[in-house]
Amino acid sequence: MDRSDPDIKSEKRGGLGLLTLDRPAALNALTHGMISALAAQLSLWAVDDAIKCVAIRGAGDRAFCAGGDIRSVQQSVVAGTDEGPRLLHDEYRLNALIAAYPKPYIALLHGITMGGGAGVSVHGRARLGDASLNFAMPETAIGFIPDVGSSYFLSRCPGEIGLYLALTGSPIGLVDARDAGLVTHAVNREDFDAVLDGLANGNVAEAIKPYVRKVQPGALAPHLSRIETIFSAGSVEAILERLGRDGSTFARETAQVIRARSPTSVKIVFRQLREAAHLDLRQCLSMEYRLATRILRGHDFREGVRAALVDKDRNPKWQPASLAAVGDIAGFFAPLGDAELF
The per-residue pLDDT for range 248-304, each reduced to its tens digit, is 999 999 999 999 999 999 999 999 999 999 999 999 999 999 999 999 999 999 999
Tell me: cis bond preceding 158? Omega within 30 of 0 counts. no
Nearest to 262 by CA among 215, 311, 329: 329
How do residues 165-217 score in pLDDT, each as one tens digit?
Answer: 999 999 999 999 999 999 999 999 999 999 999 999 978 999 999 999 999 99
Q: What is the structure's pLDDT at 285?
A: 98
- Angstrom distance (rounded) from CA 157 to CA 128: 17
Residue 281: beta bridge partners?
A: none
Beta bridge pairs of residue 112: 63, 134
Q: To the nearest 10°, report the CA torsion of 89, 93, 94, 100.
A: 170
- If one compares 51 and 3, the residue with the highest pLDDT of the two is 51
Q: Strand 126-129 vs strand 105-109: parallel, antiparallel, or unpaired?
A: parallel
Contacts 24+ apart (CB under 8 A), 229-238: 230/160, 231/159, 231/160, 231/163, 231/164, 231/167, 232/160, 235/270, 236/167, 236/266, 236/267, 236/270, 236/323, 237/323
Is the separation of the CB atoms in 177 and 135 below 8 Å?
yes
User: In angstroms, what CA-CA distances link 3 with 33, 105, 245, 321?
Assistant: 7, 21, 54, 43
Give dist(CA 225, CA 209) in Å, integer. 31
- The confidence score (pLDDT) of residue 73 equals 87
CA-CA distance, 307 to 312, in Å (whole number)?
A: 5
- Mean of per-residue pLDDT scores for the chain: 96
Q: What percent of the chain has pLDDT over 90?
A: 93
User: pLDDT tens across 10-31, in order?
Assistant: 999 999 999 999 999 999 999 9
Query: Which residues are the active-site residues?
Result: 68, 116, 139, 147
Please write down the HEC assignment for all residues of the chain. Answer: CCCCCCCEEEEEECCEEEEEECCHHHCCCECHHHHHHHHHHHHHHHCCCCCCEEEEEECCCCEEECCECHHHHHHHHHHCCCHHHHHHHHHHHHHHHHHCCCCCEEEEECEEEECHHHHCCCCCCEEEECCCCEEECCHHHHCCCCCCCHHHHHCCCCCCHHHHHHHHCCCECHHHHHHCCCCCEEECHHHHHHHHHHHHHCCHHHHHHHHECCCCCCCCHHHHHHHHHHHCCCCHHHHHHHHHHHCCHHHHHHHHHHHHCCHHHHHHHHHHHHHHCCCCHHHHHHHHHHHHHHHCCCHHHHHHHHHHHHCCCCCCCCCCCCHHHCCCCHHHHCCCHHHCCC
pLDDT in tens, 139-163: 999 999 999 999 999 999 999 999 9
Residue 1 has pLDDT above 70, yes or no: no
Band of pLDDT at residue 2, cut at 50, 70 and 90: low
Structural domains of the chain ordered from first start:
1-219+260-342 (3.90.226.10)
Alpha-carbon distance of 69 to 76, in angstroms, equals: 11
